Amino acid sequence: MKFDTIIANGTVVHAEKTEKADVGIVGEKIAAVGKGLAKKAGGGGNGGNGNANGARIIDAKGCYVIPGGIDVHVHLALPFCGTVSSDDYNTGTRAAARGGVTTVIDFAIPYGEESLQQAVDNWMAKARGKACVDYTFHVAVTKWRRHRDEMAAIVKQGLPTFKQFMIYEKEGWQADDAAIFGALEKCRELDAMLLIHAESSRVLDELIERHHNEDEMKQYGAVLHGMTRPNFIEAEAIQRAVKWAEVTKGRLYIVHMSTADGADIIRDAHRRGMDNVFAETCAQYLVLDDSAFEGPDGHLFACCPQIKKKSDQKRLWKGIKSGDVCAISTDTCTFTREQKAMWQGDWTKIPMGMPGLETLLPIVYTHGVLKDRMSVSAFVDKCCTTPARIMGLGDRKGAIKKGYDADIAVIHPKKKIKVDHAQMETNADWSPYQGWNLAGFSRTTLSRGKVVVDDYKFCGTNGWGKFLKRETAGNI
Ligand code: URP
Ligand code: ZN
Ligand code: ZN
């Protein structure tokens, strides 16, 4: 067989096993995975990049060859908190590629009286001509009574995942229990899935109000962000959403779960046989804790829900191991120092969110695989294979298999790179991981057969990324 590209001599990582094999690519697809493809084509046997029978040989000797990461939770160019998140489809997807992530799922959110269709059109326009890797959207149902009858048409366009926020009343995004209950019923009817940002808004508002005064803001600064969001704020909300999923039988996916308490609730739901409930966590909740709010840059680390305690990290890693936590994403929502400075000492005014796409795989690889918390196959499972499958991309993305899109990252098992925002593709002028030494950066990234990162440097093109239609979600 004649290949366009062969990734030779590497260890191919699947969610279930690893194998020494070459990967042969024709056009945008993986055409073969097997031993000696490069040798048979007349090259690549001894290491070194080159050409064989017209095929470009990418030597992966000593490296892992993994499916491109699937970040199912990003916000690019999101109007939010009085500003717009500063990684757009240009810098955001460049950052993704450099981090070995080849698919991003953003959230199309209607503003004001906009319809779901307008939100989708707006997000399509943000991505068109800019995206360097493939993308699709979850669609936010912010006005239940207006949007419920639009959901079927959105599913028909290949967008079977919806999102509701239990907080963010001021943004006009908040969904009440009736909306969540109704949306879960609707998702069941449409073979779709509902993603929920689970935080208990009324008690949260009460706690914020109690501490929202000059004296405490002077005394505690950004630490108040953590003080006003104890774990029960997330736990109560997850518990309630799980109850609505239980009675409606709708598919529920808890986004950015940050607490040990949340992981316990999901575990209990699974033990009761609820296979319609899923939960992701994000890389930051696995490695950062709320002591970050204490420094002069503490406000930079504010996101919703906030980073929690070391004990929560530990429980989330355990949930990953048990399978109760099925995916690791980033909730990338980048704000620059200048944007974060809008807080002026009042934590309720901090633009909430952090950069993350470029460091997702390195963080999870370094703190998961290299710290013996997970195998390299489990790493691929949680960052690539399972997220793809749950989000309805499991027929083309998230695995190195014949017929799948040739979305691949080649990572060195040990080589560490010091994180420095100034050297990165993200538009952030800071990093939550500044100065950390991380392995797992992509040496070579391919997006549908095209090399978009070579020797750790981005070399892709704007507009290469394609919109991905999906048929269903959550039924794994
Ligand atoms: O702080 C965050 N997470 N910003 C993005 C919006 C959200 O809640 O996901
Ligand atoms: Zn959220
Ligand atoms: Zn988010």
pLDDT tens digits along 276-329:
999 999 999 999 999 999 999 999 999 999 999 999 999 999 999 999 999 999
Is a pLDDT exceeding 60 seen at residue 46? Answer: no
Look-up: residue for tokens 């919806």?
162
Element (H, E) at 113: none
Q: pLDDT band for position 45 (50/70/90)?
A: low
pLDDT of residue 47: 62
What average pLDDT is seen over the chain?
97
**For ligand 1, what atom is nearest to the CA of residue 75?**
5
Say if ligand 1 is within 6 A of residue 14 CB. no
Question: Hey, which of 87, 333, 349 would you mutate to test ligand 1's pocket, going by the most ligand atoms within 8 Å of its Cβ?
Answer: 333
pLDDT tens digits for range 102-128: 999 999 999 999 999 999 999 999 999
Whether 304 lines ligand 1, by a CB cut-off of 6 Å, is yes
pLDDT for 49 equals 80
Distance 433 CA to ligand 1 centre (A): 18
Question: Are the C-beta atoms of 363 and 307 separated by less than 8 Å?
Answer: no
Residue 158 Cα to ligand 3 middle (Å):
21
For residue 345, the SS3 value is: coil
d(CA 291, CA 315): 18
How far does residue 165's CA lie from ligand 2's centre (Å)? Answer: 7
Q: How confident is the model at residue 358 (pLDDT cuts 50, 70, 90)?
A: very high
Angstrom distance (rounded) from CA 302 to CA 86: 15
Distances (CA, A) of 355 to 12, 145, 277, 328, 335: 29, 34, 27, 15, 7
Q: What is the pLDDT of residues 145-198, one digit of tens each?
A: 999 999 999 999 999 999 999 999 999 999 999 999 999 999 999 999 999 999
Any atom of ligand 1 within 6 Å of the Cβ of 333: yes
Atom of ligand 1 nearest to the CA of 304: 1
Ion ligand 3 neighbours, Cβ < 5 Å? 331
Residue 331 near ligand 1, beta carbon < 6 Å: yes
CA 217 to centroid of ligand 2, rounded, Å: 24
- When pLDDT is averaged across residues 45-60 and rounded to a whole number, the result is 83
Please indicate whether residue 75, judged by its CB atom, sits closer than 6 Å to ligand 1. Answer: yes
Q: Which atom of ligand 1 is nearest to the CA of 302?
A: 1
Pair 410, 22: CB distance under 8 Å: no
Structure tokens of 150? 């639009």
Q: Which residue has the higher pLDDT, 50 or 103?
A: 103
- The model's pLDDT over 288-297, given as tens digits with 9 standing for 90+, comes to 999 999 999 9
- What pTM was computed for the model? 0.98
